[in-house]
Every structure is written in structure tokens, then in C-alpha cells.
Chains A and B, each alone.
Chain A
Amino acid sequence: MNPEMSPSTEARLVGMHCTSCGAMAYPFQAVCPICMAEDAVAETDMPTTGTVYAFSTVHAAPKKWRLPYTVGYVDLPNGVRVFSHLDPEGLSVGAAVYASTGIVSGEAAEEPRSQLVFKAVREAK
């Protein structure tokens, strides 16, 4: 279920595009949740930048996570909302973010793995 990760900080978001009704969703799902088509859905790359809709820094969670961690919803320009870990550095509602990767799992996880983490875009000064 996890998005494919390249070893660098570049992240790829593989979502669903329905060629029948045009709906997009992330992550990929085999049936279009809007028009119910099965034979018209294709894997497609989602944009890797978006804006923060809302986020929270979590201090109580199952042991598989390293506390505290930050999760939130990122709205992509194609109308898809992605739930993801976020880097709290420079984060605010409405902030521009880009998809990256990081290790967010805690000691109880089987093995630490890199996964999707959105990071705030730093303004050039």
C-alpha cells in the first residue's frame, strides 16, 4: 500500500485516474469510487506539490510510531487530498509543501522504513 519510494528525497505518488468519469484518487484503487467503473481505472502519477489543509502533531499513538509525529491533509492541484506525514518545520495551514520521504516509524516497528513525508517549500530570499 505504501507509495513507491526512490532512494533520494524525491517521492512519487501513484494514484488512480478514471478514464470513464475523470475522477482522481490517492492512493490507487481498483474501482472508481465515483462512477464504480472497474475497467476504466489506470495508475497515474499525482502532482507532488500541494497546500496544507490541516495538520496535527500527535503525542499519543500506537508504539509503531516515533512520538511526536505530525500528520495532515495535503490538497493537490488536481483536486485530490492526500493524508500523509509532514515535517513540522515551517508548517502552517495553507503552506505550500512538496512530497519527500523520511523515517517516521518508532522502535516497535519491525524495521524502520522510509515513507512519504511532505515538507514545507522554503521561500527563496
Chain B
Amino acid sequence: MTTGVSVIGAGMVPFGKFPERSLADLAWPAVKQALNDAGVDPRRVQAAFCGTAFGGMMSGQRILGRIGLTGIPITNMENACSASSTALHHAVSSVRSGQYDIVLVIGVEKLTKFGGGTLPLEEEDWEVSNGMVMPALYAMRAQRYMHEFGLTERQLALVSVKNRRHGLLNPDAQMRKETTVEEVLASRPIAEPLTLFQCCPAGDGAAALIICSDKVAPQFRTDPVRILASDLTSGKYTPGFRDLTTPEITRRGAAEAWEHAGIGPDAVDLAEVHDAFSIAELLYYEAFDFCAHGEAGAFLEQGHSTFGGKVVVNPSGGLLAKGHPIGATGAAQAVEVVRQLRGEAGERQVEGARIGLSHATGGGIAGFDHGACSIHIYAR
């Protein structure tokens, strides 16, 4: 027998560059905020799942030691950019199965410790040891997509323009400055055709969630955000040809998530998707069937993915504007969806939002579209 699972608490610290703060000091305020938001006595939290990619050993214990929330099972999880969405998935599974009633999820990352530059990847990997960097992987997707479907540089740049405009309205966003297509295209090249403004900024941040079973939810809040689907999958290792214009792992994960949730793409009011680079968001419109293959550029240009459109994609500003401290991203996406579904998103509120989606995928390794992908669907 399984139980329904809801999010009853959400918290995050504004994303940005905080080189002077330790990982633990970055994260504990997000945890406190989530606990206060839920109105849960910290002593009732039965387990914690902490997602981070570069946080180092015992990240969860270091964070929770700061606030005395210890002596419970704390599991630290690494899954690249999907680290805390993976933590959320396992937290949901543990509640759904009846193992726990109240569980804490943390996502945290401190990227300023690397001093800038591209994300350090695993040198043991064949492609990485031969010069692969994340911008190059996405750049090749962009080039191939432009080649096959006639996507223009201006349409590509428009993703950054839209998400910066969204981020301007989000006090937790790292980039709070609007930009133009011209500025995006004139920013320095990182991996052609991608320019600096088409790449998510490196930064630090943390987010936290309190999730619980249907049984106890009414004790804390009258407006729990129900989790309709919690999907986690890995990429399929393919030594041969792969279609870089179709994110196979996300398409497969999305199909599973729609099935679990019992709804389809038309029902979604807002989606926080993994726009680590401009091209990514366009590929995900198609992977989630918000539009047909090859039509993402037009879908964006016609305003279907912003406020007033068919589905508001990345109302938070997404990774491009809110920032992408990678292990924190999945949890922070969930925080945004919860705030939107509760009607607490202030100036960037998606009117009448009832169904939200979050999607974090990542891991640049040879032979995989992506290493991991976790998708959640939520309802108020």
C-alpha cells in the first residue's frame, strides 16, 4: 500500500556568489526557512536526503549539525545537475512506501570554490579527457538543431532574453538584469554558437523542502502541494549515432511522468526545465510535447512559453537567470513550483497555476545523452 505525498515546506537562499560562506552556512538558512514554512517541529523530521555534486563528504551532516538536526538517517546523494532532484525522488519514494511520514530534502552547491571557468568534469571520462566541456556539448546540440530545423541565432538568443526578463522579477535570482537579443549575441563566445549570456552563470546556493505523507499533512498546512509524479532515470549508453536534437533521456522520463501523474502536457501551467544553456530549453519544449519537434523556436517567438502563453517555462528565470549551483537546482526548481502553486510568487505569479513541473538533468559523460534525469509533477 502506498500513500500520497505532498510538499509542505519550501525554502531557499538567493543564488549568487558567496565565496566567503561555507557550504554548511550556505544551506542551513534554507533548511530553517523550509521548516518554518511547513510549521514542523524539527524533531519530527525522520530522515534527510541531501543532494550535492561537489559538496564533499558528509555535506548533509555538516549542514544539519549547524542547527542540531542530527541523529536521523542522513543520505548524501550525487547525480551531477540532478543531485537534489534525485534526493527529492528518493525522499518521495521513502514516504510513499510508508517508511517515513516527514522527510527533509536539501540541495546545495558552492561553485565559487573553483574560481570560475567551466564546470570541472571527470577526467576519467573519455570525452572529457579529450576536451569535452559542458558548453561544447550543448553547442553541438545547438549547431545540429540549427542545421536540421533552421533555428536562427536570434531565436536561440531569445531564450536568454526571456529568462532574464523572468529572473528580474525573482528576488532569489542571481542575474537580475534584463538583456536584449543584440547583447546576447554580442557577449563573448564560449562554445560556438553559444555566447556567454546563453550559458548559466556559476554560483552558490541552497534550497530545501519538507515533504510528508497524506496522513500527517493536515497537521501542518491547509494547502499542501501534492506530488503527482516523481520520476528518475539514467541515460542509455550508446556507442553509435545519437540524435542530438532529441534529448532521449528527458523524452523517456517525461513519458513515465505523464503516465504516473495521469495527465499530459496540456495540463501544465508552469514548468521549471533545465535550461543550463539556451538551446536546452528549446529541446525540452519538444521533449515535454509542449510543441512538435522542430517547432521550438517559433513556440518561443510567439510567446507561448512566457506569461500569458500556453505554459510558462522557467518563471523563476531558470538556470540562465536564477543561476545553477548544480546540486541545489532540483530542489530550487521544486521551491519555485510550490510557491507558484500556492500563489506566493509575487510579481512573477503565473495566474491560476494549478499544475507545475520540474525537470533537472545532467552529467556530461561519453556515450550518454545525459547521465541522469529527474522529473516531478505537482498539483495544488
User: Which residues of A are in contact with B by a Cβ distance under 8 Å?
Assistant: 1, 23-27, 33-34, 53-62, 65, 69, 71-73, 75, 79-81, 83-85, 93, 104, 115-116
Contacts and interface: CB of A to CB of B under 8 A. Distances in A.
A75 B76 CA distance: 39
Contact of B131 (A25, A54, A69, A75): A69
B141 A54 contact: yes
Nearest to A105: B131
B268 to A, nearest CB: 30
Contacts of A34: 239
B130 A59 contact: no
Most chain B beta-carbon contacts within 10 A, residue among A55, A56, A73 = A56
Contact of B143 (A79, A81, A93): A93
B120 interface: yes
Contact of B191 (A58, A75, A83): A58
Interface in B87-145: 117-118, 120, 126-127, 129-133, 135-136, 139-141, 143-144
28 contacts: A23-B239, A25-B239, A25-B240, A53-B144, A56-B135, A56-B139, A56-B192, A56-B193, A56-B194, A57-B192, A58-B131, A58-B133, A58-B135, A58-B192, A59-B191, A59-B192, A60-B133, A60-B190, A61-B117, A61-B136, A62-B117, A69-B131, A81-B240, A81-B242, A83-B126, A83-B132, A83-B366, A84-B130
Nearest to A32: B239
A75 B130 CA distance: 17
Contacts of B346: none
Interface in B187-237: 188-194, 237
B367 interface: yes
A44 B340 CA distance: 56
Contact of A1 (B126, B136, B239, B240): B126
A93 B147 contact: yes
Contact of A71 (B120, B130, B144): B130
Contacts of A23: 239
A83 B133 contact: no
Given A60-B135, A62-B120, A54 B143 contact: yes
Nearest to B141: A54
B244 interface: yes
B241 A75 contact: yes
A36 to B, nearest CB: 11
Contacts of B242: 81
B239 A59 contact: no
A58 B241 contact: no
Given A33-B367, A83-B127, A71 B136 contact: yes
A65 B227 CA distance: 45
A85 B241 contact: no
Contacts of B240: 24-25, 79-81
Contacts of A85: 130-131
A84 B130 CA distance: 7
A58 B144 CA distance: 16
Instruction: Select the residue from B127, B140, B189 with max chain A CB neighbours within 10 A.
Output: B140
Contact of A27 (B120, B126, B140): B126
Contacts of A84: 130
Given A81-B239, A81-B240, 14 more contacts: A53-B241, A54-B144, A55-B143, A57-B191, A58-B131, A58-B133, A58-B190, A60-B133, A60-B135, A79-B241, A83-B126, A83-B366, A85-B131, A104-B131
Contacts of B133: 58, 60-62
A121 B351 CA distance: 56
Interchain residue pairs A-B with the least CB separation, the first 5: A25-B239, A56-B139, A54-B140, A54-B144, A56-B191
Nearest to A93: B147
Contacts of B144: 53-54, 93
B201 to A, nearest CB: 13
Interface string B327-371: 000000000000000000000000000000000000000110000
